[in-house]
Amino acid sequence: MIRILTALFLLVVLSLPAGAVEIDPEGEIRADLLARALAAQQDHAAELRDTGRLVIVDYAQHSASERLYVVNLETGNVTAYRAAHGRGSDRDHDGYLDTFSDVSGSSASPEGAFALAEEYVGQHGRSLRLDGLDAGNRSSRARAIVIHAAAYAEPDFLARYGKLGRSNGCIVFSKADLKRFLADVPKGTLMFVSK
């Protein structure tokens, strides 16, 4: 399956018209994951705004790694961030997400395509609601799966423990990274979460 998706991605890239933007020219994002995210963006185009951005979360990587990518679809450039995952997805707390879940009370991170919804101020300060677009993540809003900042995603926490802490399923940034992310990524952008 991965080979098919990689071949599909390469076919799409190679068939771009002259002058078209090359997405992720540095190859920061795995080709199969990028291909699946671009396919999800196309599949959900009617539910999204054309924001010129695409967010991809690669939970196959360790939490110490920059594994959340913001793709500027106008320039092709990528900005990478660290992001924490849910405790129910990493029960042994080794820094790797093992499983996804959309079950209420699981404290796990859900998988699939999401639309970035409205910003609000909650118990963690500035936060961003998420609307699940796939059958396997439709209860994300009801579960309060959001994007926010927390102390366990700060650089000093990472330096001390060698990994980020875990959320109750939310995608969690450091405060500085969240501020940059919110300034760059508008409401209505697609976020694709997978491994």
Sequence-separated (6 or more) residues with CB below 8 Å from residue 81: 66, 67, 68, 69, 70, 173, 177, 180, 181
The 10s digit of each residue's pLDDT in 163-184 is 999 999 999 999 999 999 999 9
Sequence-separated (6 or more) residues with CB below 8 Å from residue 148: 122, 124, 125, 126, 127, 128, 170, 172, 173, 178
**pLDDT at residue 20, rounded to an integer:** 76
CA pair distance 51, 115, nearest whole angstrom: 11
Domain 2-194 has CATH 3.40.630.40: no
How distant is the alpha carbon of residue 69 from its chain centre?
Answer: 7
Neighbours of 159 (CB within 10 A): 9
CA 40-41-46 angle, 5° bins:
110
Coil, strand or helix: which one is 82?
coil
Examine the pLDDT at 15 and tell me if it is beyond 80: no
The 10s digit of each residue's pLDDT in 107-145 is 999 999 999 999 999 999 999 999 999 999 999 999 999
Helices (H) and strands (E) in the chain, counts: 4, 8
The 10s digit of each residue's pLDDT in 86-115 is 999 999 999 999 999 999 999 999 999 999
- Please say whether the beta carbons of 82 and 173 come within 8 A: yes
| Domain residue extents for the chain | 2-194
**pLDDT at residue 19, rounded to an integer:** 56
The 10s digit of each residue's pLDDT in 22-60 is 999 999 999 999 999 999 999 999 999 999 999 999 999
